[in-house]
Amino acid sequence: MRRLAQAPNLALATLWAHALRAQGIAASVQREFLGAAVGHLPPDQCLPEVWIDDEAQHARAETLLEQLRSPPQHQWFCLCGERVEGGFEQCWQCGRLMPGLGPAPAER
């Protein structure tokens, strides 16, 4: 077993481990219950960690984890010509929804 990463919280550690397992990398979350020891132990020692079983898969696991940590920025172009970036599903300029999400707002 080899430690892959320390996560800022249990939710992310669990998400990362599940995503790795979905890609065929045996992964587990360690220190998942140490959050209760914060204050008695140093905080950095209480954060959850993601470990992988097969050290030969470490490089691939690091690459997949980096992709999870840094998803590509989504962008789309509205019918009004505005480029909308990030996780926005509605145009800030005209109020139209991203294509495929629903009807356009009523014309004023």
- Percentage of the chain with pLDDT > 70? 94
Give the C-alpha separation, 25 to 61, whole Å: 7
**Is this prediction's pTM over 0.85?**
no
Q: What is the DSSP string of 52-87?
A: ES-GGGHHHHHHHHHHHHSPPPPEEE-TTS-EEETT
Q: How many Å from the N-terminal Cα to the C-terminal Cα in the chain?
A: 62
What pLDDT score does 48 carry?
A: 94
What pLDDT score does 102 carry?
A: 63
- Give the residue with greater pLDDT, 42 vs 107: 42
**pLDDT tens-digit map of 63-72:** 999 998 887 7
